[in-house]
Amino acid sequence: MLGGEAVRAVIAELGETLAFARTVGEMRRDDDARELWAQVYADLSREDDGLAASILARSEAHVLRLSLIYALLDRSAAVTTAHLVSALELWGYAERSAQYIFGDATGDAIADTIRQALAASGEMTRTAITNLFARNESSTRIASALQTLLTSGKARMTTREPEGGKGRSVEVWHAIA
């Protein structure tokens, strides 16, 4: 544990940093940081699907704020590449953590259950998917979950002619890895 003198030194340092931050008006990036920002902005502002992506939304705004905090902690009125790189590294850690925790979950419990079942079995008919929920989920709710999987590229649907060639086509769902 830190001794009293060390704690007082950290508090004094933080106080001086806060005093500096209060005097700073508009902050800007230096030329190198501006160039780096232009290179990374498109990747930061991309929109992805899934629960992890929802949690990580607006990454460019978060990285901007982090870079400003790093600059102020250095008592700099300008964001440098060192501040921006530090913010990008911290954000990268946050992204990897969210991906590890939430994986490819969609945020839709029904869709995630269907996807897991599809991955385990290879393919399932629409009837088998309905039976997966012991017929306790509405057709509309299952259709919505399947649409989520379809539009997010996590599943695809094919049709198969019924045995004997009579009746309606059979809807068959497949997981996409």
Share of the chain above pLDDT 70, in %: 99
**Structural contact between residues 110 and 137, judged by C-beta atoms closer than 8 angstroms:** yes
Query: What is residue 103's predicted lDDT score, i.e. its pLDDT?
Result: 83
Q: Cα separation of 133 and 131, whole Å?
A: 5
Instruction: Give the pLDDT score at 66.
Output: 98
Delimiting residues of CATH 1.10.10.10 domain(s) in the chain: 109-175
| pLDDT of 2 | 61
Q: Does residue 95 surpass a pLDDT of 60?
A: yes
Mean pLDDT in the chain? 93
- Cβ-based neighbours of 43, under 8 Å, separated by 6 or more: none
For 12, 15, 175, the CA distances from 138, given in Å and listed in that order, are 62, 59, 21
pLDDT at 164 over 90: no
Read off the pLDDT of each residue in 42-50 and give the average, rounded to a whole number.
87
Fold exhibited by the domain 109-175:
Arc Repressor Mutant, subunit A (1.10.10)
The model's confidence at residue 35, banded by pLDDT at 50, 70 and 90, is very high
Shortest CA distance to 86 belongs to which of 97, 74, 96, 100? 74
**Region 30-44 average pLDDT:** 97
Provide CB contacts within 8 A for 173, sequence distance 6+: 114, 118, 123, 124, 125, 126, 129, 146, 149, 155, 156, 157
pLDDT at 63 exceeding the cut of 70: yes
3-state secondary structure of 106: coil
The pLDDT score that the predictor gives to residue 1 is 54
Digit-coded pLDDT (tens) for 108-142? 999 999 999 999 999 999 999 999 999 899 999 99
**Do 28 and 78 form a contact (C-beta atoms < 8 A)?**
yes
What is the mean pLDDT of the segment spanning 37-42? Answer: 97
Residue 79 forms beta bridges with which residues? 29
Residue 105 is predicted with a pLDDT of 86
Predicted pLDDT of residue 158: 94
The residue-averaged pLDDT of 81-92 equals 98
